[in-house]
Amino acid sequence: MVNFLFTSVGRRVELIKYFCRWGKVISADISPLAPAAHFTDKHYQIPRFNDEQYIPSLLEICKREKISGLIPLLEPEFLVLAAHRDSFASVGTTLILSSDEALEICQDKYQTYRFFCSGGIKSPATYLPEEIPSKCRFPLFIKPRSGMGSTNTFRVNNKKELKFFLQYVPNPVIQEFIEGVEYTMDVLNDFTGKTIAVVPRERIEVRTGEVSKSRTVKDIELINLTVEVAEKLGGIGPLTIQAFKKAEGQVLFTEINPRFGGGVPLAIAAGVNYPQLLARMIQKEKLQPLKHTFKDGLYILRYDEALFLDEDNLSQITRKDLVKEQ
């Protein structure tokens, strides 16, 4: 049993429930109304990641709760946390997060594309606005160079739409539009960057950038290619890697997110126990790669569920003046 701290837990109730089976789970978020916070052993309300008290607050929580592993879930905070990796280590807390170099590749979609190209990994042609060919083929796909979910992502069907969206989408990249089946691979790398587990999921239906219907697919080629990507990146801990598979079988990788994906509960339910594996990593156990040991063809159908709270529930949240109290 280990003590986990999750930051920016938001709506990640399913994920939190799985981790609660393998240790004490503490959450931290800017809001006491984060639904997942009310499924953890204890919740702290903390400042935003760009506040000067953000890191001191987390360090105090780590010391107070004897946190073994810190798992962040919101990408804008990653580089801030990574800059204080040694500070967390000094209080006995392992930051479960990739290196600065890997984070910078993942958080910039154009840099991700260049990483794919440099490693010989097939990926849709991707351009900055000034690089778009004069005779480009439509449709195209436009999205912010950095961002999460599907915010400001659009299919572009002609030059008129392209001109509009180049002005509308902030700091965009433009990508070749791919027809095919979209997959998300839930990946776990150990602290040396070696891949321990990969579970591909077909993205059947997506809502606001997060999968709502999905199924596991035991595609050996897709798994092997994903291992190649994950190990070339040298990522640490959870990675979410996305790709398309065209009708003729060609696989094209599109994105890497250095965190747990929204659909990872399906991978856990299919038999790859990410919470247990992370607990063993933190306890410095040497893990052997799993040999495709997950249930094929398992579906997840996600839906909203309500949580009802009264003022007494909210008053139990430890407020953001945690550091000032000491």
Phi then psi for residue 101, to 5 deg, are -60, -45
Task: Grade residue 274 by pLDDT with cuts at 50, 70 and 90.
Answer: very high
CA distance 66 to 254: 38
CA neighbours closer than 13 Å in the CB half-sphere of residue 101: 6
Tell me: domain 125-176, CATH 3.30.1490.20, correct? yes
Confidence check: pLDDT of 325 > 50: no
Query: Amino acid identity of 85?
Result: R
For 282, which DSSP code?
H
Neighbours of 17 (CB within 10 A): 16
CATH class of 102-106+179-295: alpha beta
In this structure, are residues 96 and 69 in contact, taking their beta carbons and an 8 Å threshold? yes
Interacting residues of 49 by C-beta distance below 8 A, sequence separation 6+: 74, 76, 77, 80, 81
Average pLDDT over every residue of 291-318: 86
For 2-97+306-325, CATH number out of 3.40.50.20, 3.30.1330.40, 1.10.10.60, 1.10.760.10 equals: 3.40.50.20
Average pLDDT over every residue of 240-247: 97
Task: Report the pLDDT value the prediction gives residue 25, as an integer from 0 to 100.
Answer: 97
pLDDT digits (tens, 9 = 90+) for 45-98: 999 999 999 999 999 999 999 999 999 999 999 999 999 999 999 999 999 999
Task: Grade residue 209 by pLDDT with cuts at 50, 70 and 90.
Answer: confident
Please report, for the chain, the start and end positions of each structural domain, with discontinuous segments joined by +. 2-97+306-325, 102-106+179-295, 125-176
Confidence check: pLDDT of 270 > 60: yes
Confidence check: pLDDT of 302 > 70: yes
In this structure, are residues 175 and 117 in contact, taking their beta carbons and an 8 Å threshold? no
Q: What is the per-residue DSSP string for 24-67?
A: EEEEEES-TT-GGGGGSSEEEE---TTSTTHHHHHHHHHHHHT-
CA distance 119 to 117: 5
Confidence check: pLDDT of 148 > 80: no
